[in-house]
Structure 1
Amino acid sequence: MSRPQREWVCGATFALRLDWRDGLVRRIELAWAADSRETDILSGEARALKAALLRYETRCPPDWPDLPFDFSGLSEFQKAALDALRRIPPGATRTYGEMAALLGRPKGAQAVGRAMAANPFPLLYPCHRVVGANRAMTGFSASGGIEMKKALLRLEGAEQGLLPGLE
């Protein structure tokens, strides 16, 4: 059976679209569930992703499935930045500058910002946990922009007093 090119999985609040090519997930799009429609027949990977999304939305450990991601279009720095994202716990944030220092490029905050903007797998590689120098909400390239970023951080239990703009 051939794999569909695109699959939407929907939770109560969020939706994820898997874009497949040659058996690899090339990209995941994050959107509001209300603006999305789940694919009628889901692959096994999509069903596992949906189960993880539903756990995430109820503040349980999502145990994201090990999907066959295609990292071929990313630079080594971008791959390292994505790997570092997975070490930021839910509810915690790092600034672009802190991420740059962790990646051995203390003056590379803008490079980190570009890597976050190029993240092809948002939510599973949680770029929403990276904030501005003063912990302010800054750019988020997923559907819904800053409002989506705020919703994800609130769901994860990020502390409002530490994050300006997270009302």
Structure 2
Amino acid sequence: MAMTHAVGHIIFETQLGFMGLAWSSAGLTRLCLPQSSREAVERRLLRLDDIAGPDSETPPQWVADLIAAIRAYAQGETVDFSDVPVDLAGVDDFRLAIYDAARKLAFGETVTYGELASRAGHTGLARETGAALGANPVPLVIPCHRILAAGGKIGGFSAPGGSATKEKMLGLEGVRVGPPPAAQASFGF
């Protein structure tokens, strides 16, 4: 499986914590969701990608624009990442179909793993869809946090912080997951 090597990477701070990304000449290759320290993100980027050396000095303009958009997202602003170029060299056709279907979800829109599988042309493959999303190299840009388990449950999330991170990201988009607050659950009639 031919993988494209990153030509640059950068770590930056947001309202949610430190994040990192890597890119090739074709697009974004890796995005690391928030962690509490620059060092933790650096270790994660180095472990996940063929990256060496310090942050890249001058990222391309689209990377600078993406960082500004991610910072805006972290502050609760509505952001559309669907035009960000991604480099998914070496990713199999099934995952490409799942990622493409996920990228079509709008800010605050959620679907179940089964529904996403159907939208991608792979009806009945909810579990495999979950596995594909667990291997997503560019979360947020490919918004795997918007995919829920059956019954609207939060489901898993492979990023640091797990399902709590997923729930926080959905909260930024105005999505509440789980039962309604006790005061609204029943009037007792």
- Give the Å deviation of 1:42: 4.6
Say whether residues 1:47 and 2:50 are aligned partners: no
Q: What SS does structure 2 have at the residue aligned with 1:134?
A: helix
Question: Equivalents in 2 of 1:8, 1:53: separation in Å?
Answer: 12
Which residue is equivalent to 2:14? 11
Which residue is equivalent to 1:28? 31
Say whether residues 1:131 and 2:148 are aligned partners: yes
Segments of 5+ residues of structure 2 without an aligned counterpart are: 1-5, 42-54, 182-189
Say whether residues 1:120 and 2:137 are aligned partners: yes
Normalising by structure 1, we get a TM-score of 0.81
Which residue is equivalent to 1:157? 174
140 and 16 in structure 1: CA distance in 2 versus 1, 3 angstrom threshold: same
Normalising by structure 2, we get a TM-score of 0.72
Segments of 5+ residues of structure 1 without an aligned counterpart are: none
- Give the Å deviation of 1:36: 2.7
Say whether residues 1:85 and 2:120 are aligned partners: no
One-letter amino acid of the counterpart of residue 71, structure 1: L
- Give the Å deviation of 1:164: 4.7
Q: What SS does structure 1 have at the residue aligned with 2:30?
A: strand
Question: Equivalents in 1 of 2:121, 2:29: separation in Å?
Answer: 27
Q: What SS does structure 2 have at the residue aligned with 1:89?
A: coil
40 and 103 in structure 1: CA distance in 2 versus 1, 3 angstrom threshold: closer
State the Cα deviation string for residues 103-150 of structure 1 (Å, max 9, x = none): 222210011111101111100110001111121122111121111101
2:87 pairs with 42, 66, 70, which one?
A: 70
88 and 66 in structure 1: CA distance in 2 versus 1, 3 angstrom threshold: closer
The CA RMSD measured in Å over matched residues stands at 2.8
Q: Note if contact 2:17-2:37 (Cα within 8 Å) is conserved in structure 1.
A: no
One-letter amino acid of the counterpart of residue 7, structure 1: I
- Give the Å deviation of 1:57: 2.2
State the Cα deviation string for residues 23-45 of structure 1 (Å, max 9, x = none): 6532111123x323695845134
Percent of aligned pairs sharing the same letter: 32
Question: Equivalents in 1 of 2:82, 2:121: separation in Å?
Answer: 29
- Give the Å deviation of 1:21: 4.7
